[in-house]
Amino acid sequence: MKAKPIEIHDLTVSFQKKPVLYGVDLEVEEGSLVGIIGPNGAGKSTLIKTIMNMITPNGGYVKIFGGNQKNGIKRIGYVPQRESVDWDFPVTVMDVILMGRYAHTRWFRKIGKSDRQVAQACLEQVDMTAFADRQIGNLSGGQQQRVFLARALAQDSSIYLMDEPFAGVDAVTEKTIISILKNMKKEGKTVVIVHHDLATAKEYFDHLLLLNMRKVAYGPINQVFTHELLQKTYGGKLTVFSEIASRAAKQPEIENKMQRSEN
């Protein structure tokens, strides 16, 4: 049997004795497009960061393609939250995307011509060719997100982890991200995305992880995106979330879509 791209067993993470994730088990199939959904503070970003080995868990383990995490993360392209880097950093868009190519060169070697061609192609995919020589500070939020995405593409990884790529982006960027996700799926890449918007989750992903400290549910979107499970995910935390959850789940178009897909 082929090893799963991401396998998580009984993962527990806590910050200063407060648990953030508790006993999470997860097996992601190759080629799936997974959304992670849950209320604020549910541990969505923490889960991603633990997979990326940025946070050491208190218990449990993460396996990547059946092997250990340290080597495994070399096969992951990570798209962090936009705020995680300093956008005044003196590099151009092209420089940032070329950083993605260091995974494919020896770390003391110089970036070559073929790397530049790959980077150029990735820039085209996110529709940012005109901005190649711009300093990254002079970009809009959506453009910055697309730069991160192009950098991940340049890494040419087998797995992609993205932390809220849709947060606060413009319509063009949203479209670009969606089309790139479709491409990735076509190429058999495994993609895991932290997402905050219930209303769009249904159309973007094929699998869903409902997370609120514990794993509430994981599975194909049709089975998991139900009123009951969403309420369970958002309900335990605060009543506000529960309201949002039930409102989102009750939205007629989603209900209709669900019925359609069930039929």
Partner 1 sequence: MTLIPEFNFSKVFLEPWSTSTLINWNGQIMLMGFMVCWTCGIVGSFIVIRRMALMGDAISHGILPGLAIAFIISGSMGLGSMFFGACIAGLACNFSIEWLHTHTKLKEDAAMGLVFTSFFAFGVTLISMNSHLHIDPGCLLYGEIGLVPLSEKWKVFGFEMGNRSLWTIGLVFCGVVIGTIFFYGPLVVTSFDSTLAKSMGIPVKATHMSLMLALALSTVASLEAVGVILVVAMFVFPPVTAAFFLQRLPTILIGTFPLGIIYTWGGFHLAYWLDCSIAAAIAVVATLLFIPACLLGPNGGILWRLKFKT
Q: With CB under 8 A as the contact rule, which of the stretches 23-31, 81-89, 170-178, 181-189 interacts with partner 1?
A: 81-89
Query: Which residues, other chains included, contact 167 with Cβ-Cβ below 8 Å and sequence gap of 6+?
Result: 81, 82, 196
Subset of 174-213 contacting partner 1 (CB under 8 A): none
Q: Does residue 53 touch partner 1 according to CB under 8 A?
A: yes
Task: Using DSSP, state whether 10 is helix, strand or coil.
Answer: strand
Least CB distance to partner 1 at residue 126 (A): 17
Q: For residue 146, which of 120, 184, 180 has the smallest C-alpha distance? A: 180
Q: Which of 85, 199, 238, 240 binds partner 1 (CB under 8 A)?
A: 85
The number of beta carbons lying within 10 Å of the beta carbon of residue 260 is: 8
Q: With CB under 8 A as the contact rule, which of the stretches 48-56, 116-124, 187-195, 248-256 interacts with partner 1?
A: 48-56
**Separation CA 115–CA 186 (nearest Å):** 23
Q: With CB under 8 A as the contact rule, which of the stretches 3-11, 26-34, 68-76, 229-237 interacts with partner 1?
A: 68-76
Least CB distance to partner 1 at residue 138 (A): 9
Q: Does residue 84 touch partner 1 according to CB under 8 A?
A: yes
Q: For residue 121, which of 154, 161, 149, 85 has the smallest C-alpha distance? A: 154
The Cα-based distances of 134 to 5, 150, 153, 169 in angstroms read: 36, 15, 19, 19
Q: Which of 3, 54, 238, 240 binds partner 1 (CB under 8 A)?
A: 54
Q: For residue 172, which of 148, 141, 195, 197 has the smallest C-alpha distance? A: 141
Subset of 102-161 contacting partner 1 (CB under 8 A): 102-103, 105, 107-111, 135, 137, 151
Q: Does residue 81 touch partner 1 according to CB under 8 A?
A: no
Taking the least distance from each CB to partner 1, the nearer of 48 and 224 is 48
Residue 213 falls in which region: left (phi positive, over 0), alpha (psi -120 to 50) or beta: left
Taking the least distance from each CB to partner 1, the nearer of 99 and 121 is 99
Query: Which residues, other chains included, contact 250 with Cβ-Cβ below 8 Å and sequence gap of 6+?
Result: 227
Least CB distance to partner 1 at residue 221 (A): 28
Taking the least distance from each CB to partner 1, the nearer of 159 and 209 is 159
Q: Does residue 74 touch partner 1 according to CB under 8 A?
A: yes
Residue count at the site for partner 1 (CB under 8 A)?
Answer: 31
Q: What is the contact surface with partner 1 in residues (CB under 8 A)?
A: 52-54, 73-74, 76, 78, 80, 84-86, 88-92, 95-96, 99-100, 102-103, 105, 107-111, 135, 137, 151
